[in-house]
Amino acid sequence: MYPLLFRHVLSRFDPEFAHHAAMAVIRVLGVPPFSWATRALTAPSPEQQVHALGLTFPSPFGVAAGFDKNVVGVRGLDALGFGHIEVGTVTAIPQDGNPKPRLFRLVPDRAVVNRMGFNNNGAEAAEARLTKLRRRAPRAVIGVNIGKSRVVAVEDAIADYVASATRLAPLADYLAVNVSSPNTPGLRGLQAVETLAPLLRAVKEAAGATPLLVKIAPDLPDEEIAAIARLAVDEGLAGIISHNTTISREGLRTDPAVVEAAGAGGLSGAPLKERSLEVLAVVKAAVPADFCVIAVGGVETADDVQKRLDAGATLVQGYTAFLYRGPFWARQINRGLRR
Distances (CA, A) of 334 to 46, 95, 97: 11, 35, 34
C-alpha distances out from residue 29 to 32, 41, 196, 202, 217, Å: 8, 12, 39, 38, 33
3-state percent breakdown (helix, strand, coil) of the chain, nearest 5 = 45, 20, 35
CA–CA separation, 168 and 171 (whole Å):
5
C-beta separation of 84 from 315 below 8 A: yes
Concatenating the DSSP letter of every residue in 231-273 gives HHHHTT-SEEEE---B---TT--S-HHHHHHH-SSEEEEGGGH
Backbone angles phi and psi of 273, in degrees to 5: -50, -55
The Cα diameter of the chain in Å comes to: 51
Q: Rounded CA gap, 248 and 268, in Å?
A: 10
SS3 of residue 178 by DSSP: strand
Active site residue ranges:
181
**Cα 85-90-92 angle, rounded to 5 deg:** 150
Measured CA to CA in angstroms, residue 102 lies from 11, 149, 269 at distances of 16, 18, 16
> Is the separation of the CB atoms in 182 and 217 below 8 Å?
yes
CB 165 within 8 A of CB 203: yes
